[in-house]
Amino acid sequence: MTESNANKVLNWLQNAVGRVREFAYAEPTVPAPAPHRPRIGVALGGGFARGIAHLGVLSVLHEENVPVDFLTGTSAGAMLAISYASGHTIPEIERQARATRFKDFGSWKLSWLGLASNQKLEHYPRKFLGVSTFEDLKIPLAIAATDLGTGQAVYFSHGQLGPALRASCAYPGMFVPVEIEGRILVDGFLAAPVPVEAARSLGADLVIAVFLEAANNRTPSSIVDVIGLSFAILQRHADLEWRATADVIIEPMVKDFLWDDFEKTSELIAAGEAAARAALPKIRAAIAAKAGEMASQATPGKD
Q: Point out the catalytic residue in the list 69, 187, 205, 247.
A: 187
Closest CA to 64 of 276, 208, 223: 276
Is 187 considered catalytic here? yes
| Cα gap 155→142, rounded to integer Å | 6
Strands 153-156, 248-250: parallel, antiparallel or unpaired by DSSP?
unpaired
Q: Integer distance in angstroms from the first to the last C-alpha of the chain?
A: 71
Helix %, strand %, coil % for the chain, to 5? 50, 15, 35
Q: Point out the catalytic residue in the list 75, 83, 86, 168.
A: 75
| Cα gap 227→300, rounded to integer Å | 56
Is 75 considered catalytic here? yes
CA-CA-CA-CA dihedral for 171, 173, 178, 179, to nearest 10: 140
Catalytic annotation, residues: 75, 187
